[in-house]
Structure 1
Amino acid sequence: MSSQISRTLTLAERTAGLVKHVDVDQVLRRVNSSISVGHSVDLGWGRVYGGQTMAQALSAAQNLAGESRNLHQLSCHFLRPGDVKHDIEFEADLLADGKSFAVAHVRALQKGKSILTLTASLQTPEEGLDHQYQHRFSRDGKNLRPEWKKPQELESIFEHMQPYVKDIPAPLRPLYEHPQPIEVRPSEFIPPWEKASRPPVRANWVKSRLALPSDPRVHQRLLTYISDWGLLETSVFPHEGVGMWMPNMQMASLSHSMVFHRDFKLDEQWLCHAMYSPTSSGGRGYSLGEFWTEDGDLIASTSQEGLIRVN
C-alpha cells in the first residue's frame, strides 16, 4: 500500500473532501433536465449514509435550478439501500420554473434502480413578513433553552468517544479516531450502545471546524448531510432495553424533509439541532427537529420517519 493511501488525511483535506462529497459532477445538461454523478463513501455501516444521497440529490437540483434560486424546502423518500461500492447517478428534471419559484425532481439510481427520490422547491429571494414563535426560549424570552447549554460548555462527540475507540466495531472506528470536518457537540452524551429508557429528546450543536466556500448552496448541502445524524435515533430513546448498536436492531430512513427559513454560515455560527420524537408505532419512528443559532434565529426545520425494528 502506498504512503499516499495509508497516511492519515489532515483536517483540511477531510473538509475539502466533504465539500466535494456533497456535490455532484454534471455529465449532461438539457434545458429542463440534467444527469449527474455522485461518488459514494463508506462510513462503516455497509450502505450509503442517507445524508450523502440527500445532499448529492440536492446538489443536482440546485445546479439545474440555477444560482439565482434559493432552496427553501426539500422532501425525500428512501427506496432502497445504497451500495457504497458504486457511484450514484442523479436524473434531475425541472417540474416548474415560474417568476418566483422553481420545483425540481431528482431520482438517485444505482444499477438502473431508484434508491431515493427528492423534490426541492427553490425561490427567487424576496422580502416579506417575518416572525418566529419563541417556544424554544427560556421564560425571560432572551435565551435558548438552558438544558441545551452553550456549545462552549460542551465536549464534542470525538472527545466523548476517545475512551471507547478501541472497543468500537472496526468498520465504524474511523469515524471516531480523528476529528471530523463538522464538529458535533451533544448537550448530553448518549452512547450509541446505551439501552436505558429516556425521554425522546436530544440536542446537538454543529459547526464546521474550518472555513467553507462562501457559496450558500454548499452550506445548505452540508446542513442537509448532517441533519440525518441522530434524528431518527431519538425515536428509540423511550424504549427500555433498545440501543442503536444492538446486532438485532434494524433502522432505516423512509422519508426526510427540511424547510430552510433563514440564511446561515455553517463555518461562522454554531447551530443547535433540537430534536424530539412525538411517536413511534407500527415498526416506524417519527422525529422532528429545528436548527437554531445561539442568538435565537430559527434556521431550518426537519422531520424524518424511519423503520425501527427489533428482530
Structure 2
Amino acid sequence: MGRPTDDFPDDGGATAAVLQALDLSADPTYPDLYQGPNLSGPRARVYGGQVLAQATVAAGRTVPADRLPHSLHGYFLRAGDPTIPIEFSVERLRDGRSFTARRVHALQEGRPILSMIASFQEHQSGLEYAEEMPADVPEPTQVRSALEELAGIDHPAARFWAQESAFDLRHVGRSLFLAPDPDSPLGRQMVWMRARAPLPDDQLLHRALLAYACDQVMLEPVLRRAGRAWVSANQSMASLDHAMWWHRDVRVDEWLLFVQSTPSAQGGRGLGAARVFDRAGTLVASMAQEGMIRLPADA
C-alpha cells in the first residue's frame, strides 16, 4: 500500500456538512440568538468539538469583523442530543477599545449543554516570540493516514474516521485506533491534521474549525499513558472543559502538527495539553482539555 500524499482525498461531502453546521441561522425575533444543526457521528451524543466551534462562530457574529478570537474557556455541562437542534445565546459582556468579550450558552430545550466565554482582539503589534516545533518530525507524507489504517474495517467508529470525518489524521508513530501503544509510557504523541478539502478564506471559520478538530485528539495522551486504546473494553470518556489560545492566524486546510502531553490524571479525570504548529514550524495555537476517564480498575 502506497504512502499518503499531499493530495486532498475525497471526503464524500464531510467537509461541506461541517461548513453547513457552522453556518448558523439567526433568530429573527431575538437578537444574538442563533441555531445550528447537528452532525452525525459514531456516538449517541453530539460531538463536543461541533458545539465548541458553533459557539465560537455565534460569538464571532456579534463582534466587529476586524476582531478575531484569541482565547476561549468552555465547560461541557451535559451530553447533547443529536436529534435536537442547538440554540446559541450570546451575551455581550464587554466591548473595549482593543478587546471584546462574549459569553455563549449552547441550549437544548432550554437546558445548557455548553457554557463558554471567548475573548476577541483587533490586530496589534507588540512583544513577539514563540516556542519552536520539535526537530526532525516526519513530514505528513511520510506518515500513515487514519484513512488508510482504517479502510475496509466494518465498524461504525472505523467508518467514521475513514469515510465520514472532515479531517485527515496522521499519527507520528502508533495510533490508538485499534491497539494501545506500549512504546509511549509518558503519553506523549504528535499528530498531523488537515481538513480533507480546501476551505474559504475566512479566519474566524478557520479558528472555529481548529476548535472543532482538536476535540478528536485532546484526550488521546491520557489513553496512551494509561496503556489503553479507543477500542479498549469497559472504559468511559467524556470532555469536561476546554481552554484554547490562538496565537496567530491559522489555516486548517494546511497541515498542522499537534504536539501533545498529559500532565496529570486523578479523581477520574485526565488532562490533555497540546501545542499546534503549522508546517513551517510556527506556533499557531495552544490548548488544554480535561476529561472524565473511567477505566475498569476504577469500577
TM-score, normalising length: structure 1: 0.86
Could you tell me how far 1:133 is from its partner in structure 2?
Answer: 2.7
Deviations 1:253-306 (A, max 9, x none): 110011000112222x31101111011111000011011012210000010001
2:116 & 2:95 partners in 1: Cα distance? 17
Could you tell me how far 1:173 is from its partner in structure 2?
Answer: 4.2
Q: 1:212 to 1:278 in 2, by over 3 A?
A: same
Could you tell me how far 1:26 is from its partner in structure 2?
Answer: 1.4
Contact kept, 8 Å, 1:89 with 1:110, in 2: the verdict is: yes
Residue aligned with 2:225, SS: coil
Q: 1:177 to 1:193 in 2, by over 3 A?
A: closer
Residue aligned with 1:178, SS: helix
Contact kept, 8 Å, 2:151 with 2:158, in 1: the verdict is: no
> What's the counterpart of residue 214 of structure 1?
201
Question: What residue ranges of structure 2 are gaps of 5+ in the alignment?
Answer: 1-9
1:47 to 18, 42, 45: 45
> What's the counterpart of residue 261 of structure 2?
276
Deviations 1:54-113 (A, max 9, x none): 000111100011312111001110000000111101100110001100000000011211
1:191 & 1:23 partners in 2: Cα distance? 32
The number of equivalent residue pairs is 285
Paired residue type of 1:11: D
Deviations 1:133-165 (A, max 9, x none): 33x4xxxxxxx332x3111211211101125x1
Matches within 5 A, 1:1-311: 11=11, 13-28=13-28, 34-134=32-132, 136=133, 144-146=134-136, 148-162=137-151, 165-166=153-154, 168=155, 171-178=156-163, 180-195=165-180, 197=182, 198=184, 199-240=186-227, 242-267=228-253, 269-310=254-295, 311=299
Could you tell me how far 1:225 is from its partner in structure 2?
Answer: 0.3
Contact kept, 8 Å, 1:12 with 1:210, in 2: the verdict is: no
Paired residue type of 2:145: S
1:302 & 1:51 partners in 2: Cα distance? 13
1:272 & 1:228 partners in 2: Cα distance? 14
2:164 & 2:294 partners in 1: Cα distance? 31
Could you tell me how far 1:246 is from its partner in structure 2?
Answer: 3.1
Could you tell me how far 1:247 is from its partner in structure 2?
Answer: 4.0
Contact kept, 8 Å, 1:53 with 1:116, in 2: the verdict is: yes
Paired residue type of 1:27: D
Question: What residue ranges of structure 1 are gaps of 5+ in the alignment?
Answer: 1-9, 137-143
Question: Percent identity among equivalent residues?
Answer: 31
> What's the counterpart of residue 7 of structure 2?
none
Superposition CA RMSD, Å: 1.9
